[in-house]
Structure 1
Amino acid sequence: MKDDVRKLWETVDHVSLTVDAWTAEKGTGLLGITIHWVDDKWAYRKWVLAIREIVRKYDGKNMAAIVIQALDEFGLRSKVYAVTIDNTAANKRMMALMARKIKIGNLNFTARRHVPCVAHILNTVVQAAIKNFGVPSAQAVEPDQGDLTRTAEHYDSDQNNDLGDICSASDDYDGGRRPLCLADAIAKVRTLVHNIRSSTQRREIYRKACEDDPEVEDCNMIVLDGPTQWNSTYTMLAAAVKKRDVIDKVSQSFRRKGLASKMSKDEWELVKEFCRILGRFAVSTDHVCKTVTPAICDALFLIDSLKAHMEEVIQQIEDGQFFTGIRRLQETDRATMAETC
């Protein structure tokens, strides 16, 4: 079979690779290598070249050795043009080592032929932004954990990384308006979703509430977000916003006092506006992940589109038009949020 496969690339001058690794316990895992090329009829082609086990330590040196071995088996070392791979430290190390070995017989290949993965860049950028907004990372939440809203002492501390502490006109807080925080609102949504999913009784209440609500299109359970993909947080929040009335109704069935408190209207609006920001990034991530024939021009268009989107968001923040149904932000709040974006 290898002899037959080698004939595919006998008349091809250049091929490119995409490489990805899946880690398992103790640093071992699998390394997948896909080859891409344009045939003599100018048709885009791709082939899964190899899926190899990383038997030793998961690092750039071992991955480079695996890729070089696979290339040599098919006589492709001298034809590699570029490699698309994530921007992790191990992958950068792999590219540096590969460049040294491939350059023998392929003088034009250097570590600069590393093409960063757009989907990975999007994930890294949005994860960093979410963290900078003060949103807690997705992680396991214990059932019946209770209300995760911060205490008064937390508000008095020097916490400037939240997406603006703004005030709700509907809730009292020490005789005045209660400060709102995006991190709190998302933490509450995550806890509510987890507690609904963790109880058979609550699941049944949720299903019945969905059936009784004419504006809810389905009774599917909201998926809890995970730490590895940023858009899982967006998916959870967007679904929760659509079913906010259902979630509020189910939360009334929680027996413990900490779980009996509902999301306020302003907290729901805060989450809704955050979803509006992330929505464009979610669409872009889905696009690049589902594209059958990826190209640099698609990535450039996508980046320009996201840049224009964020410039629009920043302008809305500066104009005080960002949060629907919530008081206009003070000048200091708008400046802080615009700087964060």
Structure 2
Amino acid sequence: RWFFFKDSHGDLRSVDLESQRIIDAENAANEQHMFDGGKSSKSLKRAAIDIDDDDDVEEHSDRGTSSTEHKKRKHNNFAGEQSSKSGKGASINIDDDDDDDADVKGEKGKGKKPEEEPKKKRQYANCWEHFTVIKKKNNKGEIVERAQCNHCKHDYAYHSHKNGTKSYNRHMETCKVLISKVDVSKMMLNAEAKLQAKKIDHMVFREMVAKCIIQHDLPFAYVEYERFISRNTAAADVYKFYENEADNLKRELANLPGRISFTSDLWTAITQEGYMCLTAHYVDRNWKLNNKIIAFFAFAPPHSGMHIAMKILEKWEDWGVQKKVFSITFDNASSNDSSQEILKSQLVLHNNLLCGGEYFHVRCAAHILNIIVQIGLDEIVDTLHKIRESIKYVRASRKREMLFAKCVEAFGIKMKAGLILDVKTRWNSTYKMLDRALKYRAAFGNFKVIDGRNYNFHPTEDEWHRLKLICEFLEPFDHITNLISGSTYPTFNLYFMQVWKINEWLISNSENQDEVIRNMIVPMRERFDKSFNILYIIS
């Protein structure tokens, strides 16, 4: 018979449905406590209806009395329910003494709203930790949004729907400011949240320094900077690295399924010290051609055939390859001829050579070509002397070089490469010197006019013409020499065809119109027949 509600001021009041009398807040609280049977307010959820005057009370009471025709319940079973999902107010059933029920549906209560599930946060790309959207004027003067790097302040195009984050991620990989910040801190956080320094292997670092010295041809004193390792330590590390690589190569050579061919070269440095180099050439299990220098050392005199042979046998024994030797290639020095005979006799004695060593000694075709061409160049030694002296004169001082450069510019000669001098022991360098000088022929003529008092080595017009014919004659020799001197591909299969071309070239030029070239052909032809008669045996 009592209906409880809150007025517009939020005060609790009660209504007697029979007398329609409103009780004040203090008495309403007591009446509610008695009506609920002493239960706490938390155990019973009720609907609160806000009204402003008595007319509203009468309206709600009429609703309650009209609902008694549909539902009847006793007073002691009175209870209120509130839906947790829809948030609507509860229905209150009231039963009077005459078993009349009143069902009053309240409006939405003003109590606590049911807790809603929190919305999932939007997932953002990691790059936005390093980028910020800014507004900037473009080339047209329009204000547009750009994504700016927080570190280097470089900005990229930005659109919330059109542009992705791929360009931002690429920038993070190359941003120098960001990388430097990351590199400064080399600390890691372990499971116990303790800072732990990243371990650096000191021996790995020393090995890397040794590789750096070897690869870039640095002096051992390179490491004698402050706070660096000493020169002796660097030298020891390089030698240790060499020993490790040598052990690996020894195992590889020992397990080769085939044989090994060797090349040997001997020369004297400008300090008059002799050096020898021994190189191994082989095909590995993957059919890949390899060449490895197994010995490079100072070779004290005498440079006799016996001394050379004993040194090579010693190196073969050190590497354990004396039973895998197939052939060796020397140049055509007389001492090398005798040394190969000694090596051959020693290996045949232990039955270590195939075919009884018939193909053990392989002559260097490039060296033979060098000798043949050098014999031909002896016929034009006077002209070559003028070219060499002209180049030396121009390069003797900075003033002459500048004067020659003006002569080159005056004739519009567009050559980036300058003049070069040859190495007398290498004929192809002589060919390159002549070829380069011919390109500056006009500049030399102008230089003679300007500095004719001191420049006395200028070739005549007939000599320039002859040098041009000689360069055309020597060009195939240069091409063939470069072809058969390769070290990254097999050359024996190219040998016969290239030598045959040289033979045909010599025959075709034996009737050349220039008398000097005809005189060059005669000694070259004789040397060629003497050196390449082995062709008929191979063929």
Indicate which of 463, 466, 473 corresponds to 1:270. Answer: 466
Any unmatched runs of 5+ in structure 2?
A: 1-243, 525-539
Contact kept, 8 Å, 1:99 with 1:110, in 2: the verdict is yes
Distance 1:28 1:263, change over 3 A: closer
Distance in 2 (alpha carbons) for counterparts of 1:296 and 1:23: 28
Post-superposition CA distance 1:211-269 (Å, at most 9, x none): 2322x222543112232111222112111111100011112233537x35753332211
Corresponding position of 1:48: 293
Corresponding position of 1:106: 352
Distance in 1 (alpha carbons) for counterparts of 2:421 and 2:271: 27
Corresponding position of 2:362: 115
Distance in 1 (alpha carbons) for counterparts of 2:337 and 2:329: 11
Indicate which of 377, 382, 391 corresponds to 1:193. Answer: 391
1:234 and 2:431 matched: yes
Distance 1:224 1:43, change over 3 A: closer
Corresponding position of 2:534: none
Corresponding position of 2:528: none
Distance in 1 (alpha carbons) for counterparts of 2:444 and 2:358: 51
1:8 alignment partner AA: E
Corresponding position of 1:174: none
Any unmatched runs of 5+ in structure 1?
A: 137-182, 323-328
Distance in 2 (alpha carbons) for counterparts of 1:55 and 1:335: 43
Matched pairs, number? 277
Distance 1:213 1:41, change over 3 A: same
Please list, as runs of the form range in 1=range in 2, the aligned pairs for 1:59-98 lying within 5 A after superposition.
59-98=304-343
After TM superposition, what 4+ stretches of structure 1 lie above 6 angstroms from structure 2? none
Distance in 1 (alpha carbons) for counterparts of 2:291 and 2:518: 48
Identity %: 24
Distance in 1 (alpha carbons) for counterparts of 2:285 and 2:486: 26
Corresponding position of 1:256: 453
Distance 1:238 1:202, change over 3 A: same
Distance 1:254 1:83, change over 3 A: same
Corresponding position of 1:58: 303
Q: How many angstroms does 1:111 deviate by?
A: 7.1
Distance in 2 (alpha carbons) for counterparts of 1:335 and 1:295: 31
Corresponding position of 1:204: 402
Distance in 1 (alpha carbons) for counterparts of 2:272 and 2:342: 20
TM value normalised by structure 1 = 0.73
Corresponding position of 2:376: 129
Distance in 2 (alpha carbons) for counterparts of 1:232 and 1:59: 29
Distance 1:336 1:18, change over 3 A: closer
Distance in 1 (alpha carbons) for counterparts of 2:309 and 2:303: 11
Higher helix share: 1
3-state DSSP of counterpart to 1:16 = strand
Contact kept, 8 Å, 1:95 with 1:114, in 2: the verdict is yes
Distance in 1 (alpha carbons) for counterparts of 2:432 and 2:479: 11
1:21 and 2:219 matched: no
Distance in 2 (alpha carbons) for counterparts of 1:334 and 1:81: 41
Q: How many angstroms does 1:297 deviate by?
A: 1.7
Indicate which of 252, 264, 273 corresponds to 1:8. Answer: 252
Mean Cα displacement is larger for which, 216-225 or 203-212? 216-225
Post-superposition CA distance 1:295-321 (Å, at most 9, x none): 212111211122222222224x1xx3x
Corresponding position of 1:243: 440
3-state DSSP of counterpart to 1:252 = helix
Contact kept, 8 Å, 2:390 with 2:458, in 1: the verdict is no
Distance in 2 (alpha carbons) for counterparts of 1:69 and 1:115: 21
Distance 1:261 1:84, change over 3 A: closer
Corresponding position of 2:480: 284
Distance in 2 (alpha carbons) for counterparts of 1:106 and 1:187: 50
3-state DSSP of counterpart to 2:327 = strand
> How much is the aligned-residue C-alpha RMSD, in angstroms?
2.6
Structure having greater relative contact order (Cα 8 Å, sep ≥ 6): 1
3-state DSSP of counterpart to 1:239 = helix
Contact kept, 8 Å, 2:387 with 2:434, in 1: the verdict is yes
